[in-house]
Structure 1
Amino acid sequence: MSNPDSFIDEVTEEVRRDRLFALFRKYGWIGLVVVLGIVGGAGWTEWQRAQATAKAEAFGDAVLDALDLGAPAERVAALGTIPADGEQAAVLRLLLASDPVGDRAATLTALEALAADESQPPSYRDLAVLRRVVVAGADLPLAERRAALDPIAAPGRPYRTMALEQLAYLLVEEGRDAEAITALTALISDQEAPGGVRSRAQEMIVALGGDPAAAEAAPAPEAAADDAG
């Protein structure tokens, strides 16, 4: 019985092998395509990364060369010839809008265009709105400036503390000095506020007759909330 059983096993194994080979000949190309797709995808990703790096370096070099030029008109002209798209275009617009003294109208136009461009990252658009409010100043109605700043001052927005600083200045403009001092005091103790914002807040508190030392001694809002809890 062992010989016939062995023969049957061998035949069965051979049949299985033939079926596997047949399946491989029929469907093996799928695995090959998958492997080639993985290898090709990795290569394409690496190539794209290298292209993006080279593009960013070229853009940075061109911007630095333009900013090294002496006269403002020459810098603006050089910046205007730099090819850019996406986020680079947003950066370039901000750079072109950086000379409000030389051409205030053009600066405001560039900032308005960037702020309204929904294809750009929200952070750049927020910065454009903030800068437009600062550059325009009293030429924009106070209510319009506050309406523009309020969304930027919301928690989680990248320029929240700068917007809060400008909102405090609007309170001063309205003659609401006590409320302005309270807002500026909160800014001094705000851990997210940059050093420049805190320094300006301290100077404004002094100018309004307040005591910045009291603000420094006060606990941060987060700490006070933790203590209360």
Structure 2
Amino acid sequence: MANQNDSFIDEVSEELRRDRLHAAFRRYGWIVLLIILAIVAGVAFTSWSNARTEARAQAFGDAVLAAQAAPDPAAALAEVPADTPERRAMTLMLAADARLAAGDRAGAAADFEAIAADAATPALPRDLARLKAVLARGSDMDPAARDQVLAELSAPGAPFRLLALEQKAVALIEAGRRDDAVTLIRQIQQEQGLTRNLSERLSQLLVTLGVEPLPGAGATQPAAEAVPAPAPAD
């Protein structure tokens, strides 16, 4: 008899649990369904957004390549549509590069300066445009203005610091300050982050100045091994 009572109680308890589960699902099931739908929609949107971004990047790259192959690359590049400030700065700098390659140094320098002066240009391409303007104008640039720009671009932590220092050395050479140029070049060669190309250009400048380049200048030096202390005498 006790077993029958226990079985009956178990059946009643099971039915109560089922009723409560069904009631909970009827009450909160729509929330679970909504969460599932939100997750599915989020995944679908992310996939669509990534595909759209990739398609835009592909279209932008194709447009840039087509413009560079046009009869007038500078004009074609300036007309390439860009959907971000970074891409716009990139196309305008490529257009200025094309003008420079065609021999229009003054026009290219003016284009670089316009890019740098545009408030919409992000910081990194702005600094690059300023440096390119200095390169384009060369010795024709006002010396005081040139020194000021290069001083700002060669400040510690600036992204194009080493390239700006190189141009400062070039300016010193053009001004006839040979010893100052050699000293600056030696300092640049000791800077961290010196690339092989820049190191070679600096060595060529020294050769032009009649100075023998230091062997291994600009190369990363291995850390010196610690010398063990002598054992104490017995």
Question: Matches of 1:194 and 1:206 in 2, distance apart?
Answer: 19
Q: CA 1:146/1:41 → structure 2, altered by over 3 Å: closer, same or farther?
A: farther
Deviates most, 95-104 or 197-206: 95-104
Matched, 1:4 2:5: yes
Aligned length: 222
Structure 2 letter corresponding to 1:75: P
- CA-based RMSD of the aligned residues comes to 3.0
Matched, 1:79 2:77: yes
**Shift of residue 133 of structure 1?**
1.6
Distance 1:37 1:207, change over 3 A: same
Q: 1:141 to 1:16 in 2, by over 3 A?
A: farther
Give the structure 2 partner of residue 122 of structure 1. Answer: 123
List aligned pairs for 1:7-86, cutoff 5 A.
7-70=8-71, 74-86=72-84
Q: What percent of counterpart residues are identical? A: 42
Deviation for aligned residue 1:139 = 4.6
Do 2:77 and 2:92's aligned partners in 1 also have CA atoms closer than 8 Å?
A: no
8 Å Cα contact 2:194-2:218 kept in structure 1? no
The residue identity in structure 2 corresponding to 1:89 is: R
Instruction: Look up the equivalent residue of 2:43 and give its one-letter code.
Output: A
User: Counterpart in 1 of 2:146?
Assistant: 145
Structure 1 partner of 2:178:
177
Separation (CA, whole Å) in 1 of partners of 2:163 and 2:30: 59
Residue identity in the other structure for 1:65 = A
Q: What's the CA shift for 1:30?
A: 2.4
Unaligned runs of 5+ in 1: none
Say which one has the larger Rg: 2
Q: 1:179 to 1:105 in 2, by over 3 A?
A: closer
> Which range is displaced more, 156-165 or 182-191?
182-191
Partner of 2:91: 92
* TM-aligned CA deviation for residue 64 of structure 1: 1.9
Displacement of 1:158: 4.2
Structure 1 pair 141–77 and aligned structure 2 pair: CA distance change class (3 A):
closer
CA distance in 2, matches of 1:119, 1:30: 45
For residue 221 of structure 2, give the secondary structure of its aligned residue in structure 1.
Answer: helix
Question: Which amino acid in the other structure matches residue 124 of structure 1?
Answer: P
Question: Which 5+ residue runs of structure 2 have no aligned equivalent?
Answer: 227-234
Distance 2:47 2:16 in 1: 45
Is the Cα–Cα contact under 8 Å of residues 106 and 136 in structure 2 kept in the other structure?
no
Q: Residues 38 and 154 from structure 1, CA distance in 2 versus in 1: closer, same or farther, beyond 3 angstroms? A: farther
CA distance in 1, matches of 2:60, 2:89: 12
What TM-score does the superposition give when structure 2 sets the normalisation length?
0.77
In 1, the alpha carbon distance for the partners of 2:186 and 2:59 equals: 44
CA deviations over 1:130-154 (Å, ceiling 9, x no partner) = 1012123345443433333344435
* Structure having the larger proportion of residues in helix: 1
Per-residue CA deviations over 1:188-228 (Å, capped at 9, x if unaligned) read 4656334432232122112222111x2x34574x638x449
Q: State the 4+ residue runs in structure 1 displaced beyond 6 angstroms.
A: none
Deviations 1:122-179 (A, max 9, x none): 3322211110121233454434333333444356554332222112223334444223
Instruction: Give the Cα–Cα distance (whole angstroms) in 2 for the partners of residues 110 and 19 of structure 1.
Output: 74
| SS of 1:223 mapped into structure 2 | coil
